Structure 1
Amino acid sequence: MDILFPITIITSEHEEITIGSAEELSEFIADCKDDDEEEEKEIRCIDFQFPISFSVFDRDFQIIEVVEIENNRQLHRFMKRVKKSEVFASLNFPLNMVLKDGTVLTAENNEQLREIIEAAKDSCEEEDDFSRERLENYLKKCPWIVYEFKRNNQENDEFKQYAINFKDDGVVTMRSRNGDILTGEWELERTRRGIAIEMEFENLADFTLKWLLYDFEDGKIKIYEAGGNRIILKRNCEVVVDITKERVKNFLKECFWRVAELEVNDTDKEEEYIGTPLKFYANNIVKIRVNGELVEGTYEVLVRNTGIGLEINLEGRPDLKLQWLITFLSEDEIELKNADNEMELKRHCPDNDGDLNFILDALVSSEWEVASYIDEARTKPQITKTM
């Protein structure tokens, strides 16, 4: 939803101010005082049920007037006069107080009024803590992609498509478009202006700032700070931030792999590849044996805006000859996806036996033909390696 300017806002002092643009609005909000400044905090969970009235006294403490208050604006202005000693007044009881859920409580005197307000204040703080905890869990649920970035009123496309992952223990990781991973710290803080997200990166000053959350909807958040600084983030649960190109390359070459699941255009294909050994080599060569046939091709680990990808080129194997996005990487599993297809590879690492590793590697990486075998005491051609 876009704001149509000009707009009129009412301040905490109940003054009306006209705002002509989004930049003016950001600057005005940024000038609001934070919690640590010496000003009474507003209690948002309770309010007076208007009208209420005050008795006004003269210097001899004789009632000279009863002032009726119809709304918060009138109350604020009247209390300013009391603070300035322009009038001497006392609140008239009984009066009703309305909680956020609509509950009406009646105070018969100042002591009861104080107790009601203190109880409401505690419930506000509990609600604030819950809201912050809920937002924190929401931020950590999935990675966020930088959709728009503005610093000092200047658009900066360099940071578009950066991926941010908010983690436990105040850790935040960010993946740049070239695949570099940066690690920093983050924290949520409630201020008088609202919830602030503070990020700090040692080598990324543009993101190191206390950003105020000013717009929040499902799948998108907007944060800003004074001086024309704004970031729009969009949630993308399919992006994996902490996977790097080098990590994937080294991981692929460590062991053998088997196709555990393969879905192509909503059709299950894994039965054609059950038990199929797949081996990735250092020189970007990949070999797979399917039904006894050795197929050799190439592979490449790619860096894409959406994450790290794997391109496999195997002639005659169109189900595998595709570009895949790596969506999950664990100790023994890789999950890959593209527009219409999904594949899961399971890692198979033989025991650290040099002879066994040599045999397995030879079986996968070489051509073999059956020369003979023994079946029911009948001699068959033996298996020999072809060069």
Structure 2
Amino acid sequence: MKTIHSKFLLLLFLLFLMLFSACQEEVVEVTEPDNEETIAPNSNLANLMRNVASNDGSGDNIIDYANCLEVALPVTVTANGVTITIESITDYDALETILDAFTIDDDDVEITFPITVILSDYSEIIINNQDELEAQIENCNDEDEEDDDIECVDFQFPITISMYNTDFQVIDTVTINDDEALYAFIENLDGGVLASINFPVTMVLANGDTVVVENNTEMEAAIEAAEDTCDEDDDYDWNDDDGDDDCTEAYIASSLIECHWNYVTSLYSTFVAEYFVFLADGNVEIYNDVTGDLVTTGTWSLSSDNDITSLNLDFNIEPHASLNIVWEMISCDDDRFEFFNGNNNLVLEQDCENDEIEDCNVNLAELEGLLLECDIEASTYDASGNILDENYLMFDANGEVTVNGEPAVTEFGSWSLLESGSGYTLTIEGLTVFDLLNGEWLLFGCDEDAFIFSQETNSGNVITMELEQDCEDCNTPEVLINDLVIYMPFAEEAHDLISGFNVENITNTFVEDRAGNSSCAIAFTGNDTFEIPVNTDSELEQGDSFSISLWFKMQNTAVGDLELFFRSPGNATQGFQLGVYDLNTPLFTDNTSFYLWDNDWNGGVDVVWENTDWHHLVVTVDADNTVRLYRDGVQRNIDENSSLNIGSQASDRYLIGEGFVGHLDDLRVYKRTLSSNEVGELFNLDGECYTCL
């Protein structure tokens, strides 16, 4: 190999001019995909994928009796004289409870207009009255009629799709994170651009089982096989999935004492967020479900006559005194009891997770310190105790809050904590994706290690937010963490410990790291790329000093494959990439004509190129635009005052593992230039399995 080294480098130079000088986003020559592996517009596969991804409107039939449209939330409805605002899909259960609380009614649901409805193609229409809604419903199939949407199988996201031009060059890699994005992608397919799914893809069946498909043919077969294998629930009977068991008086008594019981009754004209605590001594307590305050006390007992079990309640104050009648049981489930008396109903739903809320013994400085000390797990609940959302928050001392949630999104807002006559108020502002967290939250109690806040929404509903510290004992050596803006140890998750962003639903597997720790490095198969978002701390532009450090282990011995570990996407004058090319030689390039090789690897100085050992790779860029490439603690190449140009506009994301077949570990990005000694220090660090910093 050494005898042709100079000619070979010249050939590589010419080849890279062709690869990186094109006036388009970086184009990578690939083997022409089989036509059968592209997604053709209006093909059977494209239509099947679209039907799986289409918006299913049957989930809210309890409101609109329409399978082809979905009412956007929140929406306020009145049922049987009780008004409730549906904030999330979990509130459908509360509406069902209200409807089921009456036995001699027609179960009409009156909607407060205007509302927005979402069609099967995710387009939205504003509906101003019932007549307009009925006109829109006319476009839907009737109850249980066959329709196009496929509900018995779903895609497990994310899915990545490679886009090719007519010369079969990759012009982009698209990551699809949800059904709406997939539907839009399929609808916008045209003949000028070719698209190919990066397999494998996991399909999720209605019973929770998964099917992994490896190509278009398998995907088409999997969808067609699953299409009619489940009840799509396109009827208007919301009780058809409820159970019903006979219960003895002893069983009912033990169940009532076991846990708290949320309740709804037809005797109240408005929905009340309260719950019962039935005590073994015959006393019963009613608590406010939002504040946890004791509302009133009374007594309870059970009696049986002719196989009918009755609940007897006795309270002294209204409106609870209206419950002082004999309630005969008409339905009994494991966690739901229904009683009636004449035209009135009482429905109890068991809640074994509802704990009493205690006072918080903290001052303002202590509370602020606890919020800053660790990551915070945030859970929001509606007035019925139904969970609305779960996120991770990171508060910093500069007043910025970082939110990580589902879908895999990171968002930044602001926060402040003030003391007033009402107590401590936490204000969160500036969020759009996670706008439910915006507002002024009043601290009203604590529950073990959690702080409980509440606020009243614009619609007049009270929601609560539970903030719980997530303080892990990291044991991470505090080595070289100054100006560290990305750190991904790949310890059984693709988690950036700096921003807190966690890549969800990845298809990669986790493998042994360089120290033999199980599941502490990540494996790539060549088509399981994922991305992480760029924030103000991690964005890189021309003129910035920065360093990228990672460990890699090749598993591919193909001679000419370009495999990228870390890439900032852009166009002909924006972006950069760090990876390997030709004989697996480490390489750092921009998208113009700059490149820097690992000369020792290319020349076979210290390695045989087919090796599959772990190697440490670092590239540094300083203020003079000098670029250095290190491998295994040794500088392998340098370009002083180089022509590197990564562009003046930072990318909004970084891509990891494009076309890569091998293992990665301990990805670090610094917003400064590491010295050669620091590079050596990183190289000598033991491999560990860190999940926090």
TM-score (structure 2 length as normaliser): 0.21
Q: Which has the larger radius of gyration?
A: 1
Which has more helix, going by share of residues?
A: 1
